[in-house]
A = this chain, B = another copy of it.
Amino acid sequence: MSAFLPHGRHLLVDLHGIAAVRLTDTAAIEALLREAARVAGSTPVGGHFHTFGPGLGVTGVLLLQESHISIHTWPEHGFAALDVFMCGSARAERAVAHIEAALKPGETRRIEARRGLDPAAVLAR
Q: A79 and B117 in contact (CB under 8 A), knowing A2-B57, A63-B50?
A: yes
A interface residue numbers (CB < 8 A to B): 1-3, 6, 8, 10, 12, 14, 16, 45-48, 50, 52-53, 56-61, 63-64, 67-68, 70, 72-74, 76-77, 79, 81, 83, 85, 87, 111, 113, 115-117, 122
The answer for the CA separation of A6 and B3 in the assembled complex, in Å, is 35
- Who on chain B is nearest to A74 by CB? B6
> Within the oligomer, what is the number of copies of this chain?
2
Instruction: With a 10 A CB-CB cut-off, give which of A3, A12, A57, A72 has the most chain B CB atoms.
Output: A72
- Quick check: B50 and A46 within 8 Å, CB to CB? yes
The answer for the CA separation of A6 and B52 in the assembled complex, in Å, is 14
Question: 14 other contacts beyond A45-B59, A59-B64, with CB at 8 A cut-off?
Answer: A1-B56, A1-B59, A2-B53, A14-B115, A45-B50, A47-B48, A48-B63, A61-B63, A67-B72, A68-B70, A72-B87, A74-B116, A79-B117, A83-B83
